[in-house]
């Protein structure tokens, strides 16, 4: 009997095709980034890395991520819980609304925030009365990043929680679990993988976002320039090496995020194995 | 934003403390500028801070922001906290003044020379040996010539490019630009305008890439190797041919170009809130551009200084003499030119609809 995957020519054509495409689309550009960053030697790379503007771009990028990720993890979890565990009027509408940041171009998101919170927007005017400026400063960049990355966690969790249903949670409640107990002992372990993946995506996008932040940044050197903006800024300054050093930093942050994700998954798996072993022993 | 308040008051307290002892203040100013002035202001900001510290005892640090002139003007209107603006053309500062965004209506009279401490012009940058044989504006519409210019909607430099091309075409047809405002030549003028329209439409047909700022265009031409001719600020063309990649590019000076006057202004509305020391520093920052030191730095960065005293001959030799028209004479000022050519539905938009 023939089975799928038996045909050797098909198998090898597909493998070669996949490898070539991966090399062209992923590996070659990555190598090129490293090559360009090292074009002026290690010394120039270090100079560009320790440049005050680059350091400030790194801090700003980390600051944006550090604020955005926890807030959106919280927001996404609450939203997914609400949408999958409760029935209410407008539930479907809410589910559609979550996707808006996916649907609109980030540049438009930036522009809308600028027109709302800028000097001429009604919210901006109200805030200016208290001497608070959000746009063209880091809080504005955090704000638009929050918007752009808001769907990631919820989008990961909603299908997961829908598939799992609520039997386990109902069982826990009938056994007398309180709200917090229910969340930490039943819900959280079940959605952990989705939550981690959502957080990773949120983080990657928060660090890499260009369009929305470029609209509200004002491009002030050393103040409102995050790493993706710094890549463009240095390129326009005719500093190709510096530009690629910033690009390399961004790529490394992405790799680091993936490593952390792998580590967390590995830890979770190990714990699960230990748990099931304990269960078997009992 | 409580954290910001705390920081601000801490900063204010430390500034107060410092002033009790030395009567010196720490001032931070933000200069919002157009695209190709990056190197100029990098050098000038440093020099100014040193000079001002010696002069007044106050220490000033200058923050710098660069981008397409039109978008930078828009940012300031929307609330970017600029203390001074140094943009590509007067209209972009007029736009800030018109919307009461912190610049007084008569800003252009506050400093000498129309508030423009330096001038420049529009020239062509071609590849080594000038393989396409480009010598004047007429060569840009030839078939097979790929032109690189930024987008007039966002870039100040591109608007100068457009007006320079238009002026050349008018002169081509009229022979003498003195006929422009003479009612006796109304018929001739009509024909010349039609000719200029056709010429500029053909020119933009040959434009393969429209970047949003002058710097983006120079990068497209120099770094990405696209195009046969870049219509550029003289300063950017000189930077590319003298410093970036010496020997691989040539500057072609057309028979006629436009006198560009990039102006500067203080954004009173913003700087006032920072206090008297900041306001003084902002005034000094702009005035010092006219000083011998300022003019020297301006020439070093390939902008044409207003005052050539004490500037070495080898630098002045980079600025060839050519026939330059003036936006006021040919187009009746920037406000009018902007409305006719670059506003929504204006000539540029009409020409783009092919």
Split into its structural domains, chain A has a count of 2
**Do residues B346 and B210 share a domain?**
yes
**Do residues A19 and A109 share a domain?**
no
Top-confidence residue, B12 or A37: A37
**Do residues A30 and A170 share a domain?**
no
Question: For B65, which of A118, A124, A220 is closest by C-beta distance?
Answer: A220
Question: For A133, which of B79, B101, B244 is closest by C-beta distance?
Answer: B79
- Partner-chain contact B78 A221, CB within 8 Å: no
CB-based contact (8 Å) between A133 and chain B? yes
**Helical pair A227-236 and A188-208, crossing angle rounded to 10 deg:** 20
Q: Give the CA angle between residues B252, B172, B329 to the nearest 5°.
A: 90
**Calpha distance A113→A120 (Å, rounded):** 11
**Do residues B172 and B155 share a domain?**
yes
Helix segments in A178-239, DSSP class H: 179-182, 188-208, 211-217, 227-236
Q: How close, in Å, is residue A189 to chain B by CA atoms? A: 36
* pLDDT above 90: percentage of residues in chain A: 66
Residues from chain B contacting residue A131 (CB–CB below 8 Å): 5
**Do residues B312 and B326 share a domain?**
no
**Do residues B87 and B106 share a domain?**
yes
pLDDT of residue B17: 45
Range of the domain at B126: 122-259+321-352
Mean pLDDT computed over A130-142? 93
pLDDT of residue B154: 86
Instruction: Tell whether the torsion through CA atoms of B290, B296, B299 and B301 is positive or negative.
Output: negative
The interface predicted TM-score (ipTM) is 0.82
- Which CATH number characterizes residue B138's domain? 3.40.190.10
Q: Considering chain A, what is the average pLDDT of its residues?
A: 91
**Do residues B113 and B229 share a domain?**
no
CB-based contact (8 Å) between B36 and chain A? no
Going across the sheet that includes B84-86, the strands are B59-66, B26-33, B84-86, B264-266
Q: How close, in Å, is residue B189 to chain A by CA atoms? A: 41
**Do residues A155 and A217 share a domain?**
yes
**Do residues B213 and B347 share a domain?**
yes
Top-confidence residue, B7 or A234: A234
**Chain A, nearest residue to B62 by Cα:** A221
CB-based contact (8 Å) between A210 and chain B? no
**Do residues B32 and B111 share a domain?**
yes
**Do residues A28 and A100 share a domain?**
no
Give the three-class secondary structure for B42: helix
- Partner-chain contact B81 A136, CB within 8 Å: yes
**Calpha distance A132→B80 (Å, rounded):** 13
| Residue whose tokens read 């091309």 | B165
Residues from chain B contacting residue A139 (CB–CB below 8 Å): 1, 4
**Do residues B62 and B152 share a domain?**
no
| Intervals of chain B under pLDDT 70 | 1-23, 354
**Chain A, nearest residue to B214 by Cα:** A236
**Do residues B238 and B175 share a domain?**
yes
CB-based contact (8 Å) between B246 and chain A? no
CB-based contact (8 Å) between B275 and chain A? no
**Do residues B249 and B268 share a domain?**
no
Phi/psi at A272 (5° precision) = -60, -45
Range of the domain at A23: 1-37
pLDDT of residue B118: 97
**Do residues B77 and B146 share a domain?**
no
Beta bridge partners of B29: B62
Question: For B1, which of A135, A139, A222 is closest by C-beta distance?
Answer: A139
**Do residues A52 and A4 share a domain?**
no
Residues from chain B contacting residue A142 (CB–CB below 8 Å): none
**Do residues A238 and A275 share a domain?**
yes
B 203-232 residues inside an 8 A Cβ radius of A: 213, 215-216, 219, 223
The pLDDT tens digits of the residues spanning B206-237 come to: 998 899 889 999 999 998 899 999 999 999 99
Residues from chain B contacting residue A135 (CB–CB below 8 Å): 78-80
- Which CATH number characterizes residue A120's domain? 1.10.3720.10
**Calpha distance B18→B242 (Å, rounded):** 45
Q: How close, in Å, is residue B63 to chain A by CA atoms? A: 6
Give the three-class secondary structure for B128: coil
pLDDT of residue B354: 56
**Chain A, nearest residue to B220 by Cα:** A236
Q: How close, in Å, is residue B150 to chain A by CA atoms? A: 14
**Helical pair A151-164 and A52-85, crossing angle rounded to 10 deg:** 30
**Do residues A100 and A238 share a domain?**
yes
**Do residues A146 and A233 share a domain?**
yes
The pLDDT tens digits of the residues spanning B288-332 come to: 999 999 999 999 999 999 999 889 998 899 999 999 999 999 999
The pLDDT tens digits of the residues spanning A235-271 come to: 988 888 999 999 999 999 988 888 888 888 888 788 8
**Do residues A9 and A66 share a domain?**
no
Give the three-class secondary structure for B175: coil
Beta bridge partners of B66: B33
- Partner-chain contact A120 B63, CB within 8 Å: no
**Do residues A72 and A203 share a domain?**
yes
Q: Give the CA angle between residues A199, A201, A205 to the nearest 5°.
A: 115
**Calpha distance A79→A166 (Å, rounded):** 16
**Do residues A47 and A69 share a domain?**
yes
Give the three-class secondary structure for B251: strand
Residues from chain B contacting residue A128 (CB–CB below 8 Å): 79
Residue A11 scores a pLDDT above 70: yes
**Do residues B342 and B237 share a domain?**
yes
**Do residues A199 and A73 share a domain?**
yes
Of A266, A253, A164, give the one whose Cα is nearest residue A205: A253
CB-based contact (8 Å) between B79 and chain A? yes
Of B342, B307, B161, give the one whose Cα is nearest residue B236: B161
Mean pLDDT computed over A112-135? 91
């Amino acid at each position: 009997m023939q089975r799928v995957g038996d045909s050797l020519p098909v198998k090898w054509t597909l493998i070669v095709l996949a490898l070539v495409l991966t090399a062209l689309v992923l590996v070659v550009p990555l190598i090129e980034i490293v090559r360009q960053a090292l074009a002026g030697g290690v010394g120039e790379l270090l100079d560009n890395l320790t440049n005050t503007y680059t350091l400030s771009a790194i801090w700003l990028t980390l600051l944006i991520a550090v604020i955005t990720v926890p807030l959106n993890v919280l927001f996404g979890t609450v939203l997914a819980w609400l949408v999958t565990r409760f029935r209410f009027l407008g539930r479907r509408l809410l589910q559609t609304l979550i996707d808006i940041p996916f649907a609109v171009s980030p540049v438009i998101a930036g522009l809308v925030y600028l027109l709302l919170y800028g000097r001429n927007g009604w919210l901006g005017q109200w805030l200016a009365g208290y001497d608070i400026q959000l746009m063209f400063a880091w809080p504005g960049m955090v704000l638009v990043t929050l918007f752009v990355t808001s769907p990631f966690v919820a989008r990961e969790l909603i299908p997961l929680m829908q598939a799992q249903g609520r039997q386990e949670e109902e069982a826990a409640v009938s056994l007398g679990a309180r709200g917090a107990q229910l969340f930490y002992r039943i819900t959280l372990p079940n959605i952990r993988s989705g939550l981690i993946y959502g957080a990773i995506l949120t983080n990657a996008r928060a660090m890499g976002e260009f369009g929305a932040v470029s609209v509200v940044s004002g491009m002030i050197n050393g103040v409102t320039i995050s790493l993706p903006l710094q890549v463009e800024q240095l390129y326009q300054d005719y500093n190709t090496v510096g530009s690629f050093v910033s690009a390399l930093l961004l790529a490394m942050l992405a790799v680091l995020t993936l490593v952390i994700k792998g580590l967390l998954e590995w830890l979770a798996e190990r714990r699960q194995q230990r748990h099931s072993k304990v269960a078997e022993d009992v | 934003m409580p954290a910001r308040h705390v920081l601000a008051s801490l900063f204010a307290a430390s500034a107060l403390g410092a002033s009790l002892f030395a009567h010196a203040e720490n001032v931070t100013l933000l200069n919002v500028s157009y695209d190709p002035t990056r190197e100029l202001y990098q050098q000038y900001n440093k020099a100014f801070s040193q000079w001002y510290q010696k002069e007044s005892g106050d220490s000033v640090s200058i923050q710098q922001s660069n981008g397409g002139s039109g978008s930078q003007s828009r940012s300031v209107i929307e609330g970017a906290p600029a203390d001074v603006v140094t943009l590509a053309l007067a209209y972009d500062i007029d736009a800030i003044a018109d919307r009461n965004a912190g610049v007084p209506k008569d800003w252009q009279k506050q400093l000498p020379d129309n508030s423009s401490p330096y001038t420049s012009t529009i020239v062509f940058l071609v590849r080594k040996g000038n393989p396409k044989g480009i010598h004047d504006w007429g060569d840009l519409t030839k078939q097979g010539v790929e032109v690189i210019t930024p987008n007039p909607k966002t870039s100040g430099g591109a608007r100068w490019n457009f007006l320079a091309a238009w002026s050349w075409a008018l002169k081509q047809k009229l022979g003498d630009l003195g006929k422009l405002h003479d009612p006796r030549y109304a018929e001739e003028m009509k024909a010349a305008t039609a000719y200029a329209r056709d010429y500029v439409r053909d020119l933009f047909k040959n434009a393969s890439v429209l970047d949003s700022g002058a710097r983006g265009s120079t990068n497209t031409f120099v770094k990405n190797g696209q195009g046969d001719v870049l219509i550029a600020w003289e300063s950017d063309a000189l930077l590319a041919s003298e410093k970036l990649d010496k020997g691989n590019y040539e500057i072609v000076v057309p028979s006629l170009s436009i006198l560009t006057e990039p102006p500067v202004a203080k954004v009173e509305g913003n700087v006032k809130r920072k206090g008297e020391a900041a306001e003084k520093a902002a005034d000094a920052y702009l005035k010092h551009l006219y000083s011998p030191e300022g003019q020297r730095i301006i020439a070093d960065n390939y902008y044409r200084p207003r005052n050539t005293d004490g500037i070495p001959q080898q630098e002045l030799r980079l600025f060839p003499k050519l026939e330059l028209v003036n936006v006021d004479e040919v187009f009746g000022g920037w406000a009018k030119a902007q409305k006719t050519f670059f506003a929504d539905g204006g000539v540029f938009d009409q020409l783009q609809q092919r």
